[in-house]
Amino acid sequence: MDIRKLKRDCYEMKLKALDMAATTSFGAHIGGGFSAMEIMTSLYAVSNIPSMQDECRDRIIVSKGHGVLALYTALWKKGLMTEEDLNTFETDGTQFHGHAHRNLEKGIEFSGGSLGLGISYAVGVAKACKLKGLDNKIYVLLGDGEMDEGIVWESLMSIVQFGLDNIVLIIDRNGYQLDGPTSEIMNLSPLESKLKSFGYTTDTVDGHSIEALIEVFSKNPTGPRAIIADTIKGNGISFLINNKISHQCVLGKNKYEQAVNEIKEAYDGE
């Protein structure tokens, strides 16, 4: 695995995501997109997707539907979306909105938006793949704020009940949701213990370290598993870090230029 190349890809994804966000007059989900950039870079590096027509392909289902800046730019690097596609983001007549619409031709497995539905959809996909005897993985990206939804916990129980060891859950634990810190709105702690008590093999990882993410994705324990990725909302952009306004915000010219410069400085020498 060429970690240096993956870091470069992630850097280019972030710059492209800022370009996309800066074109919208009503804002983009920058905070949750930038907390998931390294996760999505790593996921598409380890997953087996020879083509979107191959039934045996791994599935990447983004349940936290507001993470599209990371999803679209990862699909761009994968060659499934073009730069022209990204340039239509949130414009009239586009196929590529602030919450993704399912489009297998472009690599989008699931229509995001209603939080909690991605993981429940993944339960059905994983069960179907099992019944067909397919040897593949169903990767599901969840937000920690999303885990307020009861349907998430019903899905967690169903995965264990039906022995769906082909599912890998990744929780983007950035500590914030639309209305503020998750610890104040609906405290998940101790999340590791809760998942283990449900029957999950659980790992906690630095969600901004591609090396650490690749390592943990390469493990192959038996039974259902969950990976908690500790991240920072709005990572790399000083005025958006751990700021609930980053959930969806507008980037004016000055703020866009500041964000671009901060990302470039962070990657200087990589």
Query: How many whole angstroms separate alpha carbon 143 and alpha carbon 148?
Result: 9
What token pair was written down for 164? 């769906």
Name, in order, each residue with C-beta under 8 angstroms of 203's C-beta and a sequence gap of 6 or more. Answer: 216, 219, 225, 226, 227, 228
Q: Is the dihedral of CA 222, 104, 151, 204 positive or negative?
A: positive
60 within 8 A of 122, measured Cβ to Cβ? no
**What's the pLDDT score for residue 244?**
85
Locus of tokens 């964000």: 259
Amino acid at 262: E
**What's the pLDDT score for residue 131?**
97
> Which DSSP string corresponds to the chain?
--HHHHHHHHHHHHHHHHHHHHT-SS-B-HHHHHHSHHHHHHHHHHS--S-TT-TTS-EEEE-STT-HHHHHHHHHHHTSS-HHHHHTTTSTT-S--SS---BGGGTB-S---STTHHHHHHHHHHHHHHHTT----EEEEEETGGGGSHHHHHHHHHHHHTT-TTEEEEEEE-SEETTEEHHHHS---SHHHHHHHHT-EEEEEETT-HHHHHHHHT---SS-EEEEEE--TTTT-TTTTT-GGGGSB---HHHHHHHHHHHHHHTTT-
**What's the pLDDT score for residue 178?**
87
What token pair was written down for 16? 């492209």
Query: How many whole angstroms separate alpha carbon 132 and alpha carbon 161?
Result: 19
Residues (pLDDT < 50) of the chain are: none
Tell me, yes or no, if the pTM score tops 0.85: yes
**What's the pLDDT score for residue 269?**
60
**What's the pLDDT score for residue 112?**
87
